Amino acid sequence: MSTTTTYTLEANALSIGYTHKNEITTIAENLSFQLQKGELIGLVGANGMGKSTLLKTLCGMIPSLGGVVTFNGKQLKNYTEQNLAKELSIVLTGAIPPSNLTVSEIIALGRQPYTNWIGSLSKQDKAKVIEVIDLLKLSSLKHKKSYELSDGQLQKVLLGRALAQDTSVIVLDEPTTHLDIYHKAYILKLLKEVAHTTQKTILFSTHEIDLAIQLCDQMMILTKDNFTVDQPCNLISKGSFNDLFPKDLIHFDQTTGSFRVHK
């Protein structure tokens, strides 16, 4: 049943993992958190810890093994695909769209939940596409086909498609993977601005821990034994980043807020 809430995305006692031929592999369990409007949230964890599994479970792409996910007060399982697409957009790594589409056309795909059955764009849809192209500074590329783009440019375009979808929650799996350090910072700063100015909840997974610490309102740390959600400064003071990786090679330096290699 729907209830009024200030949280856009909530998980309660969520268990994530995979079921193959009745064999259940649990990747993480008892995950609970509440995310608010206007927040940028970074999810970090070592390779294979379950970040993508968690994001896909939150989006309903893979079934949870237990617990409840709620969007804007309504349980995920009670949404139709069409209605969920108005609340939630997803950007997955390697989700390359058909290569003969132009940048504008890919971004316009984000309007699908709002268009009629033949997919024709209204004035409002077209205005949204132009707004996103301007926001992401993609005007010079708008007529290029997706196969003509660099990996980084394509990543920006996929973000554009999610922004055009204009949902209250955006989930991105490693959105800065193919970008250089300048463009990693550019995209994460842009996500923060979008979250703050449009009051969207933006959750992304990343290995860019230093940048995430500087830019996120909240961070989620997923380790083998723990799941912690808090503001980056609190996580630093609690020493939570120290548990992210084995301690034989690197350590977290609390004064600089970054990882250092043992000399």
Residues that bind ligand ATP (CB under 6 A): 18, 25, 27, 45, 47-53
20 versus 263: smaller Cβ distance to ligand ATP = 20
49 versus 132: smaller Cβ distance to ligand ATP = 49
CB of 55 to ligand ATP, least distance (A): 8
How far apart are the C-alpha atoms of 193 and 184, rounded to whole Å? Answer: 14
48 versus 98: smaller Cβ distance to ligand ATP = 48
CB of 34 to ligand ATP, least distance (A): 22
Q: Which of 44, 55, 161 is nearest to 102 (CA)?
A: 161
CB of 202 to ligand ATP, least distance (A): 18
Structure tokens at 183: 């463009």
CB of 19 to ligand ATP, least distance (A): 9
92 versus 135: smaller Cβ distance to ligand ATP = 92
CB of 96 to ligand ATP, least distance (A): 17
How far apart are the C-alpha atoms of 18 and 207, rounded to whole Å? Answer: 23
47 versus 140: smaller Cβ distance to ligand ATP = 47
CB of 244 to ligand ATP, least distance (A): 11
52 versus 167: smaller Cβ distance to ligand ATP = 52
